[in-house]
């Protein structure tokens, strides 16, 4: 019996892709909004004492979305919307890369509370500063068994259409 493509790839991964040097891949992958929301739910720590009880993402267009945040035990509305923009080109450098950078558009009294709420969610790889939130997708990719591909990425872009995101990537395995 011949080894399957999966078996060959799995073995090459364990060898650091030594026999696949010079490989170049490119592609675009749709990510259904339902999958993203399930991944967000799955990533919430079970024993979390965070006031954030739920987060749901609605994607509007190429770089704009809204987070529907539900809270508990918090002197704020039980549910509120956080409209935000994101930078479609992901940063491939630095700890936790790829980094997705969001800028929220919440105004009024709730705006200063956003970094506090993000911090209280205690989600690994997510940090907020002022209007900006950075999500270290490297942490997420590690959980899905793809962390060894991160150093090989040369381009990563995330654009939305209503209901889904499109991930565009380029990957290269250096010759040496």
Partner 1 sequence: MKELIEKALAGGLKELAGLELSGTVPIRQELINEVIAETLQSGVPEVKKSSERPAIDVNALIPHVKKAEVSAEGGKLTLHFQIKIDEN
Q: Which of 90, 89, 97, 96 is nearest to 124 (CA)?
A: 96
**CA-based R_g, the chain, Å:** 18
Decide whether 53 or 164 has the Cβ nearer to partner 1.
164
CB of 9 to partner 1, least distance (A): 6
Cα distance between residue 139 and residue 147, in whole Å: 8
Among 116, 119, 148, 151, indicate the residue that binds partner 1 (CB under 8 A): 148
Burial (Cβ within 10 Å: 0-12, 13-18, ≥19) of residue 151 = exposed
Tally helices (H) and strands (E) across the chain.
4, 9
* Residue 85 CA, distance from chain mean position: 14
Work out the number of other CB atoms within 10 angstroms of the CB of residue 80. Answer: 16
* Helical H segments across the chain, by residue range: 5-14, 33-43, 113-120, 137-143
Using CB under 8 A as the binding rule, whether residue 25 contacts partner 1 is answered as: yes
Residue 13 engages partner 1 in binding (rule: CB under 8 A): yes
The reply to whether 20 sits near partner 1 by the rule CB under 8 A is: yes
User: How far apart are CB 96 and partner 1 at their closest, in Å?
Assistant: 17
**16, 32, 151, 174: residue in contact with partner 1 (rule CB under 8 A):** 32
To the nearest whole angstrom, how small is the minimum distance from the Cβ of residue 170 to partner 1? 10
Q: Which is nearer to partner 1, 81 or 170 (CB)?
A: 170
Cα dihedral 116, 122, 126, 127 in deg (nearest 10): 30
- Under rule CB under 8 A, residue 23 binds partner 1: yes
Of 68-76, 90-98, 119-127, 146-154, the window that binds partner 1 (rule: CB under 8 A) is: 146-154
Which residue's CB is nearer to partner 1, number 110 or number 149?
A: 149
Choosing from 35, 48, 77, 174, the residue that interacts with partner 1 (CB under 8 A) is 35
Site residues (vs partner 1, CB under 8 A):
1-14, 19-30, 32, 34-35, 38-39, 42, 142, 144-148, 166
């Amino acid at each position: 019996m011949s080894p399957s493509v999966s078996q060959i790839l799995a073995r090459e991964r364990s060898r650091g892709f030594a026999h696949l040097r010079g490989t170049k891949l490119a592609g675009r992958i749709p990510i259904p909004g339902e999958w993203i929301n399930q991944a967000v739910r799955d990533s919430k720590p079970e024993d979390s004492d965070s006031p954030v009880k739920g987060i749901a993402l609605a994607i509007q267009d190429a770089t704009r979305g809204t987070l529907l945040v539900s809270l508990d035990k918090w002197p704020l509305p039980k549910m509120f919307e956080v409209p935000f923009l994101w930078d479609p080109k992901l940063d491939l450098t630095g700890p936790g890369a790829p980094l997705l950078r969001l800028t929220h558009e919440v105004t009024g009294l709730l705006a200063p509370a956003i970094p506090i709420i993000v911090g209280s969610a205690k989600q690994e790889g997510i940090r907020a500063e002022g209007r900006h939130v950075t999500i270290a997708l490297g942490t997420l990719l590690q959980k899905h068994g793809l962390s060894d591909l991160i150093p090989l990425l040369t381009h990563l872009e995330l654009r939305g259409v209503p209901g889904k995101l499109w991930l565009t990537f380029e990957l290269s395995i250096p010759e040496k």
